[in-house]
Amino acid sequence: MAHRWTNTLTRAEATPLATWLNRRQILAGLGGAATLGLAAPSRAQGLEPNTLEQITNYNNFYEFGAGKDDPARNAHRMVTQPWSIRVDGLVDRPGDYALADLLDGLTVEERIYRFRCVEAWSMVIPWNGVELADVLTKVGVQSSARYVAFETTLQPDVMPGVRQRVMPFPYVEGLRLDEAMHPLTLLATGIWGQPMPNQNGAPIRLVVPWKYGFKSIKSIVRITLTDSQPPASWNVINPREYGFYSNVNPTVDHPRWSQASERRVGGGLFAPRIDTLMFNGYESEVAGLYAGMDLRANY
Amino acid sequence: MVQTINRALRALPAWPVYALGAAWAAWLFWQGLSGGLGPEPINALERRYGEVALWLLIAGLAVTPLRVWSGVSLLKYRRALGLTAFGYVVAHLAVWAILDLQSLSRIGAEIVKRPYITSALRPLC
């Protein structure tokens, strides 16, 4: 592990912009810290986190239906307690772990990340979670492991999308081991300091902020270490449109729409389009993982 | 039965189709402004206008088959249905171009690159 991630998105962004700027002005007035006051607001402008209301009412969670409001309507019936995660494959300590046991001893941190959906909308989300690397270290990754596979819970009785077979279930995803061990990669258990809402993937989900949102698999019940590339649901359904890597990349379009720009959810009817950033703005942290790879071929 | 319906229809003018069509479009726009279409109203509005256009187009095309098979004649509403459908097509296009893509270069690129956008615009030209 190279280093622990230092968050550049801070509590300041979680404060309503006007209040925060006000506070800065007061500070500047008090201390005469003009440079501090000048540098910060420009950063704050683009990175105000979305409200919990927005984050919980615009979701893709096809188990509960393909509409953006279906998860908010249907996910409350999902059973999330008790919750256990099967850890298997190339690990030293495989088994069925109760969620609390898997997280025991790890510190839940707040991470404010940009979240970019492959459908060209985005949010800024204050996650609470632990680094996936810490969980993997805990179960002991064997040296032959190259990939990590994940699986979402399957509860057909309460999942209308599963009964209607909108896509093959259970939903599965995968990461290369170095991506999984990267300090940015999170197993999130909450949003805005609240327990993970069901429609966002309760009680525990993956967050890989430099990849399109569908890589960040929800409601995880199984983590498997493997030596070969595991299947990833959207890649299996439509490999021409969704690659295994699916890194956010403004220069490689989806066949049916441009990925060069995006729209931040919550801006209303006149929300401006903003430029999509390479690796969703995490280029300096993760570009090294793909050194020498043709990102046009490995989309 | 059919004659009773046709007689009743004779008393109903065609202009309410335009009025209802315009009022519904304005109501949807208001919903988008006030949060009634959810946190991402641009895509929602684009889709609603497109759907209504499609339904009205189908309704207009169904007038003749309905008359042939059942005898009920909606002929006098057909122009209103067609023009209102066209109004929704224009609204759908306007939301796509102005609120969604927001720039001529993006619009141009989409028309050239995406076959489904190219074919969507062909009937207008």
What is the number of structural domains in chain A?
2
Complex-level ipTM? 0.86
Q: Is the pLDDT of residue A137 over 80?
A: yes
With tokens 């009964």, the residue in question is A163
Give residue B119's pLDDT band: very low, low, confident or very high (50, 70, 90): confident
Residues A172 and A250 in one domain: yes
The tokens for A160 are 């209308």
* E-strand stretches of A93-185: 95-98, 109-116, 121-131, 147-152, 172-176
* Across A143-158, average pLDDT: 98
For residue A9, the model assigns a pLDDT of 67
Which chain B positions have a beta carbon within 8 Å of A257's beta carbon? Answer: 110, 114
Nearest-CA residue of chain B relative to A55?
B39
Q: Are A229 and A94 in contact (CB under 8 A)?
A: no
Q: Are A123 and A19 in contact (CB under 8 A)?
A: no
Q: Any CB–CB contact under 8 A between A239 and chain B?
A: no
* Across A280-286, average pLDDT: 97
* Across A18-37, average pLDDT: 40
B42 and A266: CB-CB below 8 Å? no
B40 and A68: CB-CB below 8 Å? yes
d(C-alpha A186, C-alpha A282), whole Å: 14
d(C-alpha A21, C-alpha A37), whole Å: 8
How many C-beta atoms surround the C-beta of residue A186 within 10 A? 24
Chain A, residues 22-61, CB within 8 A of chain B, namely: 50, 53-54, 57-58
Out of A258, A270, A271, closest to residue B110 by CB: A258
Give residue B1's pLDDT band: very low, low, confident or very high (50, 70, 90): confident
d(C-alpha A276, C-alpha A120), whole Å: 9
Domain membership flag for residue A297: no
| Nearest CA-CA distance, residue A267 and chain B, Å | 8
Q: Is the pLDDT of residue A37 over 50?
A: no
d(C-alpha A192, C-alpha A40), whole Å: 22
* Across A22-29, average pLDDT: 41
Q: Is the pLDDT of residue A19 over 90?
A: no
Which chain A positions have a beta carbon within 8 Å of B109's beta carbon? Answer: 258
Domain membership flag for residue A269: yes
Q: Is the pLDDT of residue A26 over 70?
A: no
* Across A163-189, average pLDDT: 97
Give residue A45's pLDDT band: very low, low, confident or very high (50, 70, 90): very low
Q: Are A205 and A219 in contact (CB under 8 A)?
A: yes
For residue B124, the model assigns a pLDDT of 77
How many C-beta atoms surround the C-beta of residue A269 within 10 A? 19
* Across A267-283, average pLDDT: 97
Nearest-CA residue of chain B relative to A272?
B102
Which chain A positions have a beta carbon within 8 Å of B32's beta carbon? Answer: 269
The tokens for A173 are 């995803």
| Nearest CA-CA distance, residue A245 and chain B, Å | 24
B39 and A270: CB-CB below 8 Å? no
Domain membership flag for residue A262: yes
pTM: 0.85
What is the number of structural domains in chain B?
1
Q: Is the pLDDT of residue A35 over 80?
A: no
Give residue B41's pLDDT band: very low, low, confident or very high (50, 70, 90): very high
Domain membership flag for residue B21: no
* Across A17-39, average pLDDT: 40
Residues A182 and A148 in one domain: yes
Query: Which domain covers residue A10, as residue numbers?
Result: 1-47
CATH number for A247: 3.90.420.10
Which chain B positions have a beta carbon within 8 Å of A271's beta carbon? Answer: 42
Of A145, A123, A118, A116, the C-alpha closest to A133 is: A145
* Rama region for A279: left / alpha / beta (φ>0; ψ in -120 to 50; rest): left
Query: Which domain covers residue B67, as residue numbers?
Result: 2-8+33-124
Share of chain B above pLDDT 90, in %: 85
Domain membership flag for residue A127: yes
Q: Are A286 and A279 in contact (CB under 8 A)?
A: yes
Residues A191 and A171 in one domain: yes
Residues A6 and A91 in one domain: no
Least confident of A23-32, A266-275, B14-23, B60-69: A23-32
For residue A16, the model assigns a pLDDT of 47
Residues A18 and A58 in one domain: no
The full length of chain B comes to 125
Q: Any CB–CB contact under 8 A between A73 and chain B?
A: no
Residues A195 and A255 in one domain: yes
For residue A17, the model assigns a pLDDT of 43
Which chain B positions have a beta carbon within 8 Å of A66's beta carbon? Answer: none
* Rama region for A32: left / alpha / beta (φ>0; ψ in -120 to 50; rest): left
**Maximum distance among all alpha carbons in chain B?**
57
